Chains A and B, each alone.
Chain A
Amino acid sequence: MPRRRLPEWFLLLLPAIIVIAAVVLIPLIFSLYSSFTPYKLTRPSTLWKWIGTYNYEKILTDAKFWAAFGRTVLFLTIALNLEMLLGLGIALMVNKVTWGQRTLRTILMFPMMFSPILVGFQFKFIFNDNIGLVNNALQSMGFNVALPWLVDGKLAMFSIAFAEIWMSTSVFAILILAGLFAMPRDPLEAAKVDGCTPWQSFRHITLPFLMPFIYIAMTIRSLDVARAYDIVQIMTGGGPARRTELLWTLMSRTGYVDARMGLANAMGYVSILLSIFFTVYFFRKLSAARAEIGMGS
């Protein structure tokens, strides 16, 4: 009697399916479910109590959450735009270099090679108000100040953004550089003959060609920044007194310090929306920019 056998393709895919289910699907479903419960890590039985959308309602009326949310959006906007501008500048300069360009390109990647935790510690030291490099330098230049880099709300946001930008500008620089390398030389020469100054060539020819590359970098970075927990956690931990609280520090505080995992998961799902919004937005822009220069959409 022939035994019914599973189709071969299914058997071959089975290990992958099991792994994905174990590490992605189950946690996803579990976290989504728990966001509808008052789940506290210290009282496991709370996991079985269904409270509907209570957590979500609570978040949406929570001023602290909205403060963190706003701060995060602002942080993302500023960081991404500055990274883009700096990356563009660096890429244009490196593209002009004729000697030692390979080395430069490698050096450009260095910041990406460090663990964000390490970068966080490094900048925490650099910006330390007592023993930090920055204040030390300021003082030896004769400014008799000890700026509270990581304590003052605005300065602390600046310091975090600085670290984040230092670490990730090279993503933009490298992708834009790739765009510059791929750029056909002919239209630029045609533009020169058509009467363009170097700035006009850049504005009308180079920049439209680079836009898809910029949006690729933006898309990648928007995913990245949405989970950029480590640097903030190391440098300020969201403090002091929540002055640098961003969504991800707020979430981890709620989940692990206050042990209110259900609520934290609900926050997670709200901020995923934010992340999806940014990604979809940049992806749309990317498709439009690709269509614009005739790369097909």
Chain B
Amino acid sequence: MTEVTLSNVVKKYGAHQAVHGIDLDIADGEFVVLVGPSGCGKSTTLRMIAGLEDISGGEVSIGGRVVNDLPPRERNISMVFQNYALYPHMTVRENLGFSLHIAKQDPDQIKIAVDDAAAILGLDELMDRKPAELSGGQRQRVAMGRAIVRHPDVFLFDEPLSNLDAKLRTQMRAEIKKLHQRIGNTIIYVTHDQVEAMTLADRIVLMRDGHIVQVGTPLELFNTPVDTFVASFIGSPPMNLVDGTVNGANLTLTDGTILPIPLTARGLLHDGQAIHFGFRADNLMPIGHAVDEEGEIITLDLTVTLTEPLGTETVLFTEFGGAEVQAKMFNPRPVIPGEAMKFQMVLDKCHVFDAKTGKAIRS
């Protein structure tokens, strides 16, 4: 059993505090993704778990054992680095077998383990090459192979795909997921890309400025963001946010549009309160090109200003409540900019955020 627990973990670089007391429980076999804008302390957190950075405060434990003062080699973890970090003077085979060689394993067993990992990752053909003779994707595979040969308790990934091109990234993403399903180890994965986080994670940890903002499954973060930061970070396109004020049982948006308060926020607002009204693009659809929705539906007449056809759907840009917002059209037909269309919106799926704190208001 290898759960990983962080309690009140702090990292200071001199006077600068990079991580502010993080608490996190990761279950055995869980795939957890740390995501957030760059500089928010994801790598620092991961490197503290790996033992590559000293821990300035709090405790990290792996498998129930506090590891604060243990060197990386005694933590039974393996790590895949953003720049691959292969050993340039060793062949692929030597790279893969290095950790076992250091652990003084029997050469025959090393060969079996290395061939095994190579087969999983399709590296058989490349065993005698040096890293300099490999492409980016191949290096990435070797780096992953090096991590899996050892059968560690925990895998740590630090933005392993960010140096690959888009197509390869998608492919490797799927491979990492398969790998997890196959091996079932605990994985802690760092990325700044919300798509990677959404697609890979059992649970997402969204960080900002050295704090954890929200922890939850991808759908939890998508459907019930705790504040405007989560709402605009998760999901593509980001959630539409429109300013407004509470006016009795209604919301008045900047341009005077009046809407009923969504069900989830009813009774939690006070008159005159400044708010952000939030909804996703796929909750604003032209009538006739919508996917069926249940609940309290309102209709709106809006003018399309720009279209982005994506094939199965088209993103429509339009003005609503005094802001530019994005809508989605399913089963799209050609739309000319300037065309007025009737849209529908499911009020129950909309969000209300307090304008001062940015926090979501929902029951």
A274-294: CB near B (< 8 Å → 1, else 0) gives 000000000000000000111
Which of A184, A186, A194 contacts B98 (CB under 8 A)?
A194
Which residues on the A side are within 8 Å of B51 (C-beta)? Answer: 192-193
Which of B50, B83, B85, B132 contacts A294 (CB under 8 A)?
B132
Q: Which of the listed residues A193, A205, A296 has the most CB atoms from chain B within 10 Å of its own CB?
A: A193
Q: Does A101 contact B (CB under 8 A)?
A: no
A180: min CB distance to chain B, Å:
15
Q: Which of the listed residues A195, A197, A209, A293 has the most CB atoms from chain B within 10 Å of its own CB?
A: A195
Which of B52, B78, B88 contacts A187 (CB under 8 A)?
B88
Q: Does B336 contact A (CB under 8 A)?
A: no
A67-100: CB near B (< 8 Å → 1, else 0) gives 0000000000000000000000000000000000
Q: Which of the listed residues B88, B130, B150 has the most CB atoms from chain A within 10 Å of its own CB?
A: B88
Q: Does B87 contact A (CB under 8 A)?
A: yes
A188-219: CB near B (< 8 Å → 1, else 0) gives 01111111110010001100110000000000
Q: Does B349 contact A (CB under 8 A)?
A: no
Q: Which of B69-77, B186-194, B312-320 contacts A (4 or more CB under 8 A)?
A: B69-77
27 A–B contacts, CB within 8 A, in A order: A186-B83, A189-B85, A190-B85, A190-B87, A191-B98, A192-B52, A192-B71, A193-B51, A193-B77, A193-B78, A193-B79, A194-B73, A194-B98, A194-B99, A194-B102, A194-B150, A195-B73, A195-B99, A195-B150, A196-B102, A200-B102, A204-B98, A292-B89, A293-B88, A294-B130, A294-B131, A294-B132
A243: min CB distance to chain B, Å:
44
Q: Does B205 contact A (CB under 8 A)?
A: no
Q: How far is the CA of A195 from the CA of B72 in the complex (A)?
A: 7
Beyond A191-B98, A196-B73, A208-B89, 13 additional contacts (C-beta under 8 Å) are A184-B83, A187-B85, A189-B52, A189-B79, A190-B79, A192-B51, A193-B52, A194-B146, A194-B150, A195-B99, A195-B103, A292-B89, A294-B89
Q: Contacts A294-B130, A294-B132 given; indicate if A195 touches B102 (C-beta within 8 A).
A: yes
B89: min CB distance to chain A, Å:
4
Whether A209 lies near B98 (C-beta < 8 A) is no
Closest to B103 in A: A195
Interface size for B (C-beta < 8 A) is 26
Closest to B79 in A: A193
Which of B72, B81, B132, B150 contacts A186 (CB under 8 A)?
B81
Q: How far is the CA of A110 from the CA of B150 in the complex (A)?
A: 49
Q: Does B92 contact A (CB under 8 A)?
A: no
B142: min CB distance to chain A, Å:
11
Determine chain A's interface SS by DSSP, over half rule.
Answer: helix
Which residues on the A side are within 8 Å of B73 (C-beta)? Answer: 192-197
Identify the A interface with B (CB < 8 A).
184, 186-187, 189-197, 200, 204-205, 208-209, 292-294, 296
Which residues on the B side are within 8 Å of A186 (C-beta)? Answer: 81, 83-85
Q: Does B86 contact A (CB under 8 A)?
A: yes
Whether A189 lies near B89 (C-beta < 8 A) is no
A24: min CB distance to chain B, Å:
39
B285: min CB distance to chain A, Å:
47
Which residues on the A side are within 8 Å of B86 (C-beta)? Answer: 187, 190
B229: min CB distance to chain A, Å:
31
B106-126: CB near A (< 8 Å → 1, else 0) gives 000000000000000000000
Which residues on the B side are within 8 Å of A205 (C-beta)? Answer: 87
Closest to B78 in A: A193
Which residues on the B side are within 8 Å of A204 (C-beta)? Answer: 87, 98, 102
Which residues on the B side are within 8 Å of A184 (C-beta)? Answer: 83, 85
Whether A193 lies near B88 (C-beta < 8 A) is no
Closest to B52 in A: A189
Q: How far is the CA of A192 from the CA of B131 in the complex (A)?
A: 19
Which of B72, B88, B130, B146 contacts A192 (CB under 8 A)?
B72
Q: How far is the CA of A292 from the CA of B52 in the complex (A)?
A: 27
Q: How far is the CA of A10 from the CA of B102 in the complex (A)?
A: 61
Which residues on the B side are within 8 Å of A189 (C-beta)? Answer: 52, 79, 81, 85
Which residues on the A side are within 8 Å of B88 (C-beta)? Answer: 187, 209, 293-294
A94: min CB distance to chain B, Å:
23
Whether A194 lies near B83 (C-beta < 8 A) is no
Q: How far is the CA of A189 from the CA of B46 in the complex (A)?
A: 13
B343: min CB distance to chain A, Å:
51
Which residues on the A side are within 8 Å of B131 (C-beta)? Answer: 294
Closest to B74 in A: A195
Closest to B73 in A: A195
Q: How far is the CA of A191 from the CA of B349 in the complex (A)?
A: 50
Which residues on the A side are within 8 Å of B71 (C-beta)? Answer: 192
